[in-house]
Amino acid sequence: MARECEVCGKRTQTGNSVELRGKAKYLGGVGTKVTGITRRKFKPNLQRVKVTSPNGTTRRTWVCTQCIRSGAVRKAVVQRPFKLPA
């Protein structure tokens, strides 16, 4: 499984992890120095949720939390709502 959101296409990105040493000048030090730079990965926060499609079918998909919060996907109803007897 590719680590990718099925709605917006968000996937793993790469960047740098920067290691600093020293005391900042505004705190009375001589300034911070970069002592090491290594590559790192930023992974999206994917959740496996049941999604209802526009035609009414439900299926499980990998979706990022931003798409869930923004309402880009419609989560499936777990069970029917309670109805009072007529």
Q: Measure the CA–CA gap between 47 and 24, rounded to whole angstroms.
A: 40
Q: For position 1, what pLDDT does the model report?
A: 57
pLDDT in tens, 21-78: 999 999 999 999 999 999 999 999 999 999 998 888 899 999 999 999 999 999 988 7
Identify the helix (H) or strand (E) that includes residue 29. Answer: none
Give the global pTM: 0.70
Expressed as residue numbers, the domain containing 42 is 13-70
Any domain includes 81: no
Could you tell me the CATH number of the domain that includes residue 59?
Answer: 2.30.170
